[in-house]
Amino acid sequence: MKLTMLKVVSTAAMMATIALTGCSAKRTDTSEVVVAPMGVPGGVGYYNGGAVVTNSTSVITAAGANPNAVYFGFDSSEIDAQGQAVLNQQAQFLQANPSARVAIAGHTDERGSREYNLALGERRAQAAQAYLATSGVSASRMEAISYGEDQPADPGHDESAWAKNRRAEISY
């Protein structure tokens, strides 16, 4: 009886630890699946009313640039000319597809505290959102969110990796 009780307690403790800490797995494919709540033309399937879109263009290309991302300088949320070009293309797509919704995710590199990076990621996402709004995209079609340093595009620990991680990423 004591041995059985010990197994139950041990199993419960192990399951609680797994539930609290979670499991992590690294993706090895180069495509990303995005669920678009309002649907996007060209969606390949539906899940609970949202279109499931394979967004293979949102990965870092060999040249190091994501065509759906605006990149930022260190400790900055200022959109440069290259970022404006990206957002102008996104605005054109959104104007041509009035039912499409967009999520703008702000990201940072690993330097700085978690709280600071979440705030900086939020400023980056909001800067991109404001730019799209001035281009005629309704604010009700956009959502800004910050991931801070939690979802790096490049897991490296040098300037090249950090430059790829300082971004606001657009997904549909």
What type of residue sits at position 145? Answer: I
Distance CA(20)–CA(3), nearest Å, equals 26
Strand 102-107 with 167-171, pairing: antiparallel
Distance CA(168)–CA(73), nearest Å, equals 12
Kindly list the domain boundaries of the chain, sorted by start residue: 31-171
Distance CA(152)–CA(107), nearest Å, equals 7
Distance CA(67)–CA(164), nearest Å, equals 12
**To 10 degrees, what angle do helices 114-134 and 81-96 make?**
60
CB 143 within 8 A of CB 103: yes
The predicted pLDDT at position 169 comes to 97
The predicted pLDDT at position 64 comes to 56
The predicted pLDDT at position 99 comes to 95
pTM: predicted TM-score of the whole model, two decimal places:
0.65
Residues in the chain predicted with pLDDT less than 70, given as ranges, are: 1-64
CATH entry, 31-171, from 3.30.1330.60, 3.40.30.10, 3.40.309.10, 3.40.50.1980: 3.30.1330.60
